[in-house]
Amino acid sequence: MELTGAKIIMEILKEEGVDTVFGITGGAAIEMYDELAKTDIRHIMVRHEQGAVHAADGYARAKKDVGVCMVTSGPGATNTVSGIASAYMDSIPLVVFTAQVPTSLIGNDAFQEVDIVGITRPCTKHNYLVRSIEDLARTVKEAFYIARSGRPGPVLVDIPKDISQTTTNYKPSPRPSLKSYNPTYRPNIRQLRWAMGLIKEARKPVIFAGGGVILSGASRELTKFAKRLKAPVAGTLMGLGAFPGTDKLWLGMLGMHGTYRANMSVQSCDLLIGVGVRFDDRVTGKLGTFAPYAKIIHIDIDPTSIRKNIPVTVPIVGDCKISLAELNRLMTKESFTVDKKSSKLWLDQIEEWKKTMPLSYDQRKTIKPQHVVEKLYELTNGNAIITTEVGQNQMWAAQYYHFDQPNCFITSGGLGCMGFGFPAAIGAQVACPDKLVVDIAGDGSIQMNIQELATAMQYKLPVKIVILNNRYLGMVRQWQELFYDKRYASTDIAHAPDFVKLAESYGGVGMRATRPEEVEPVLKEGLNTPGLAIMDFLVEREESVYPMVPAGAPITDMLLVN
């Protein structure tokens, strides 16, 4: 069957089960978009290419599948880089198609030519420049396979214009087999038995769950494991929802803005079981002081993540779901039981830490952002998909909205990319049209991709935006308050839009709360609005996120109150 390159791409998208593509067309992408228009694949035309990648990211997480976006060459391609880097840091499976100038012009500084393969090499799992029509089908199939297998990640495929125009014989090909790429899914049984030996000896165990648990679909296995072990569970920012946030064993988030009980538990435990985590600097604080009394078991599908930051006692390379299922099987086989006395003493100690320093704030005359998030949780019964921008709004969402299910908290964790939340909410809403999707935003971050209001309105996506508006770039202002003698250099947002009027100008609904008693009515009105709604909450300007561990300090050195 003779098909053009553009048509071959569409055929493979259908074979891979793709039902939605996010992007913007352009001169070099015309052929691909012309063929896309002939299919029943839905195209969401965003207003900026960064928004396209973030939307594909949000879609991938909510749908639990590969997200796809398509852009043109040159600036269209370079505008995707922040979104690709964010997906790479958070291990999100994406396939990004960038158009390119014809192969005969590559290297000649042609109009809208850029070496996007070179630019994105450090922030993609893999990338390709297709130089021959005969390589196209194999390359695209490989891209999807690499993106979703092993430790997931973004893959970029650069398509020269002449490749999309040229014809060749095409027939569907089987799943790729790459000799140099064979992820390890099943863990080594010897390592599992070694881990079981440490589990049996432990008297103060803690489980540390990360985004890998959610990506591998291992939440059920993790919960079963924790209940059997009677071990408390702490989470990373990316791991929120991996274990029920309302369960008694849940410690909360660990690290720089983690809970007192989570940080104290990890620093006091005798066994730390890390599952699908990277042990990054925001979690560990000062490396030499992290979990000083603990033996560490580390389970991850990516062998390069193990011992990268923290020395571990038992490394287990394997899929989190399979590895936890195997540990659960061994516990049953060996009739594992916990020591009731030591378990009670440990859990009682944790309960004491919880009572000593719970998350708290003082709600007085002004609106506290924590109150807005708590009230949002109460009104939604925890059943919304929450996306966030980056900064204080992100941390308050992590602390005060409790996630009982995976794939319901969507945020830019590793890169911390401002402007992420709203386009990610658009992607999540496309993936889950019957779910309530709320973007918790700051007034600074929301403006970085505010143009996507047009996208939400065009496709009738009823996303809700909750703006915690303090008229600052809040997280940087907090650091300036604490460590720079309150010199608020370039963090005071002196001029900001009227978000209510802005929502209305796009055809949406806007509303505002300026006093605490207005918070609940505004939330109710916004959440019950049939279409897109912006809820602007004028919150306490100099409210800070606590607890906070200063950069480079041990995670027990927490600043606890305003």
pLDDT in tens, 109-148: 999 999 999 999 999 999 999 999 999 999 999 999 999 9
Q: Cβ distance 242 to 309 under 8 Å?
A: no
Largest CA distance in the chain: 74
Q: Which of 478, 484, 460 is nearest to 559 (CA)?
A: 478
- Which tokens sit at 164? 């999309």
Rounded to 5 degrees, what are φ and ψ at 334?
A: -95, 10
pLDDT digits (tens, 9 = 90+) for 78-88: 999 999 999 99
Enumerate domains of the chain plus CATH numbers. 2-169 (3.40.50.970), 189-356 (3.40.50.1220), 369-538 (3.40.50.970)
Provide the pLDDT for residue 304: 95
68, β-bridge pairs: 95
Active site residues: 49, 111-112, 161, 475
Provide the pLDDT for residue 562: 63
Provide the pLDDT for residue 175: 84
Provide the pLDDT for residue 1: 83
Provide the pLDDT for residue 364: 81
Q: Which of 208, 201, 196, 315 is nearest to 267 (CA)?
A: 208
pLDDT digits (tens, 9 = 90+) for 373-417: 999 999 999 999 999 999 999 999 999 999 999 999 999 999 999
Provide the pLDDT for residue 162: 98
Q: Cβ distance 259 to 251 under 8 Å?
A: yes
Provide the pLDDT for residue 165: 97
CA angle 263, 264, 270 (to 5 degrees): 105
Rounded to 5 degrees, what are φ and ψ at 273?
A: -110, 100
Q: Which of 368, 399, 378, 370 is nearest to 262 (CA)?
A: 399
CA distance 151 to 301: 6
pTM (2 decimals)?
A: 0.97
Residues lower than pLDDT 50 in the chain:
none
CA distance 308 to 287: 12
- Range 101-109 contact pairs with CB under 8 angstroms and sequence separation of 24 or more: 101/28, 101/73, 101/160, 101/161, 102/160, 102/161, 102/162, 103/131, 103/160, 103/162, 103/163, 104/162, 106/160
